[in-house]
């Protein structure tokens, strides 16, 4: 992570294994920022793509979304986006920008106004019109300007301060998701139950209410993120990966099971994805 500069910037490493790019390997420039420490229980990070495509060109960006809600504001729309069970896509054309906030699992309940599973695979207009206006005023007509970007982030941070402090259940679900995402040895729901001394039924209710997803989904999504990292590694476009080895490293019983999981979510086979051009 880059240290803050004189403007208070908190820029972070631009790599993101959840972002699969488009099928041609294109991604717009994406500026990413860490939250201020006081907001770390409710925000994971902010991101801001800025694009300008030739007339008639369209790019469909693909993302294996994390188990969280998002706030996304652009010049044309402002949305609260629920967790996505499948592949998230966003069509880009012309010129534009979007300032996104990736929330922590704990934040969804308050923003949705109830159990997060009611927003799974859905997006609704952002109800805070004043926040939308402040962000758009901040970005103005120069989305590449670092000071304008920081002013937009500051507007979001001011609004999200109302979600603090996070309740104990929220801290628990943050810890559960962090554990599953961060430890590739977690292959069974029972391991999560043992780690946090809760029953499987309690865990299922907790994840449905707070993140709108199942514990099994958390493990599968972590595996797919790891798969994306392996399949898109430098040189993969000219060197066929050993898919059987990848499957074994991810804890799959066999290559066929891995292939079915990957294709069901992305729409392409692991081999087809590995053969796509990498970012340019």
Helix H, strand E, coil C: the string for the chain is CCCCCCCCCCECCCCCCCEEECCCCCCCCEEEECCCHHHCCCEEEEEEEEEECCCCCEEEEEECCCCCCEEEEECCCEEEECCCCCCEEEEEECEEEEEEEEECHHHHHHHHCCCHHHHCCCEEECCCHHHHHHHHHHHCCCCCCHHHHHHHHHHHHHHHHHHCCCCHHHHHHHHHHHHHHHCCCCCCHHHHHHHHCCCHHHHHHHHHHHHCCCHHHHHHHHHHHHHHHHHCCCCCCCCCCCHHHHHHHCCCCCHHHHHHHHHHHHCCCHHHHHHCCCCC
**Rounded distance, CA 185 to CA 62, Å?**
27
Angstrom distance (rounded) from CA 228 to CA 41: 27
6 within a domain of the structure (yes/no): no
Cis amide prior to 165 (ω within 30 degrees): yes
Mark whether 48 and 156 lie in a shared domain: yes
Which residues contact residue 152 at a Cβ distance below 8 angstroms, ignoring those fewer than 6 apart?
A: 48, 99, 135, 138, 139
Reported as a single tens digit per residue, the pLDDT across 201-228 is: 999 999 999 999 999 999 999 999 999 9
Which pLDDT score is estimated for 64? Answer: 97
Q: What is the pLDDT along the chain (280 residues), one digit of tens a residue?
A: 333 433 456 888 767 889 998 999 999 999 999 999 999 999 999 999 999 999 999 999 999 999 999 999 999 999 999 999 999 999 999 999 999 999 999 999 999 999 999 999 999 999 999 999 999 999 999 999 999 999 999 999 999 999 999 999 999 999 999 999 999 999 999 999 999 999 999 999 999 999 999 999 999 999 999 999 999 875 444 567 899 999 999 999 999 999 999 999 999 999 999 999 876 5
Same domain, 155 and 176: no
Q: What pLDDT, on the 0 to 100 scale, is given for residue 6?
A: 35
Looking at the structure, do residues 158 and 172 belong to the same domain, yes or no? no
Are 32 and 134 in the same domain? yes
d(CA 5, CA 146): 11
pLDDT of residue 229: 92
Count of structural domains, the chain: 2
Answer whether residue 12 is part of any domain: no
Residues 176, 271 share a domain: yes
For 233, the domain range is 168-275
Domain CATH number, residue 246? 1.10.10.60
Q: Which of 163, 188, 219 is the endpoint of a domain?
A: 163
In a domain, residue 50? The reply is: yes
Q: Are residues 97 and 173 part of one domain?
A: no
Whole-model pTM: value is 0.92
**At a CB cut-off of 8 Å and minimum separation 6, what does 3 contact?**
none
Residues 30, 153, single domain; the answer is: yes
Same domain assignment for residues 181 and 229? yes
């Amino acid at each position: 992570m880059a240290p803050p500069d004189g403007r208070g910037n908190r820029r972070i490493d631009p790599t993101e294994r959840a972002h699969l790019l488009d099928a041609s390997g294109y991604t717009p420039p994406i500026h990413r920022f860490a939250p201020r420490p006081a907001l770390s229980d409710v925000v994971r990070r902010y991101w801001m793509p800025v694009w300008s495509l030739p007339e008639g060109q369209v790019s469909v960006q693909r993302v294996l979304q994390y188990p969280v809600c998002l706030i996304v504001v652009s010049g044309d729309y402002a949305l609260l986006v629920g967790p996505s069970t499948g592949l998230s896509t966003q069509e880009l054309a012309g010129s534009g920008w979007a300032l996104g906030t990736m929330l922590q699992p704990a934040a969804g309940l308050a923003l949705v106004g109830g159990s997060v599973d009611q927003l799974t695979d859905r997006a609704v207009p952002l109800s805070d019109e004043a926040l939308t206006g402040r962000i758009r005023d901040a970005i103005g007509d120069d989305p590449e300007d670092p000071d304008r970007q920081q002013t937009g982030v500051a507007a979001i941070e001011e609004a999200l301060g109302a979600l603090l402090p996070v309740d104990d259940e929220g801290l628990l679900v943050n810890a559960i998701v962090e554990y599953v995402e961060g430890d590739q040895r977690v292959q069974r729901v029972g391991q999560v139950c043992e780690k946090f001394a809760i029953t499987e039924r309690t865990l299922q209710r907790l994840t449905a209410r707070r993140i709108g997803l199942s514990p099994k989904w958390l493990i599968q999504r972590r595996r797919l993120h790891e798969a994306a990292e392996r399949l898109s590694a430098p040189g993969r476009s000219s060197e066929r990966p050993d898919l059987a080895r990848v499957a074994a490293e991810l804890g799959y019983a066999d290559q066929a099971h891995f292939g079915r999981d990957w294709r069901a979510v992305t729409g392409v086979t692991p081999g087809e994805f590995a053969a796509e051009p990498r970012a340019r």
